[in-house]
Amino acid sequence: MYAVRELIYIGVRKNKAGVFEKYNTMFLKQNNFDVLFLGSSRTETHFNPLLFDSLTGCNSYNLGVTGATPRIAFGVLKAYCSKSELPRDLIFDVDFHFLKYGVDTIRHFPRYFPYLNNTELLKQFNQIDDRFTSFYYDPFHALPYSNFRMLSASLHGWLGIKGKYDSCYYKGFVKTGFGKELEIFPQKKFYAYINPIERRYLDSIILFSRRNKIRLTLVTSPMFAGGKVDLLNKNDIITQINNIAKINKVIYKDLSQTKFSNDRKCFIDLYHMTTKGADLFTRDFGAFFNTNLGKDRNLRRE
């Protein structure tokens, strides 16, 4: 069973494109990117490194992963930095929705199994979900979760065949919503707030950046209608984040409402943009970066 599991995992790690090539880069390779984008699937689908790099002259990478609260994002950051050079700039997309959960599980968690040789990834994720140590050591625990998709990814890796959606990935960014547009659907309105657990990990990201002389910028990327469709206390949560940023002397920029936030062709749902929307946003963010952060982009960290 150990041998079977290792054969599956080796095949997964052989992928040269798609989500597993992204995880290869994040958790196994030695990298030297100037700018990292960190956060949830909103980060993953909103910040286009190809366009951002062309606008700013930087070398960036998108570390966004599905379902990443600050707690999960911190674990991803620590795992990445255990293998790679520290970035000069870290852009953390503060997702209003994920601030309140304090989750103890990780979405699509079997995807991470082939990468648990990264000891920092294992340590950080086991603190969130204490099954991860067992997943790492016990194939009888891990393999039942390694479903057909994992086997398919392994076969693609061994055979050198690209998957259906592999071409949608570039430097961690995922293109999405081709030819689609938002259809308004019933949505339960909610209040945003910062869970104490997530606040601690937001503080941990801030402290990690400060200790390692990484310039941290907090940003909230666009939502449809700026979040007015479903978020009841947007101004309150923005005030809280602004206060956190002010106390810690970091920049926070709320870009949830933009000139295209009411354009349905720019969104596939209330929270995620199409590639068209992502490109428009990345251009705006690139301009913001150049104006506010780019004047010393060619300087290395001291």
Better-predicted residue by pLDDT, 102 or 71: 71
Indicate the number of domains in the chain: 1
User: Is 165:20 a contact under the CB 8 Å cutoff?
Assistant: no
Report yes or no: 149 and 182 within 8 Å, Cβ to Cβ.
no
Could you tell me if residue 301 is inside a domain?
no
- Residue 299: its pLDDT value, please? 47
In this model, does residue 103 exceed pLDDT 80?
Answer: no
Q: How much of the chain, in percent, has pLDDT values that exceed 90? A: 86
Q: Which domain holds residue 237?
A: 2-296
Residue 269's domain is classified under what CATH number?
3.40.50.1110
**pLDDT at residue 300 tops 50:** no
Q: What is the mean pLDDT of the chain?
A: 93
Contact 26, 79 (CB under 8 A): yes
CA–centroid distance for 50 within its chain: 16
**Residue 281, domain member (yes or no):** yes
Confirm whether 302 is domain-assigned: no
Strand boundaries in 130-190, DSSP class E: 169-170, 173-174
In a domain, 187, yes or no: yes
Residue 13 in contact with residue 36, Cβ under 8 Å?
no
Q: What pLDDT sits at residue 293?
A: 86
Residue 108, in any domain of the structure: yes
User: Could you tell me if residue 27 is inside a domain?
Assistant: yes
The residue-averaged pLDDT of 64-93 equals 97
The answer to whether residue 82 sits within a structural domain is yes
The predicted structure's pLDDT at residue 302 = 41
Predicted TM-score (pTM) of this structure: 0.95
The string of pLDDT tens digits covering residues 272-281 is 999 999 999 9
Give percent above pLDDT 70 in the chain.
Answer: 96
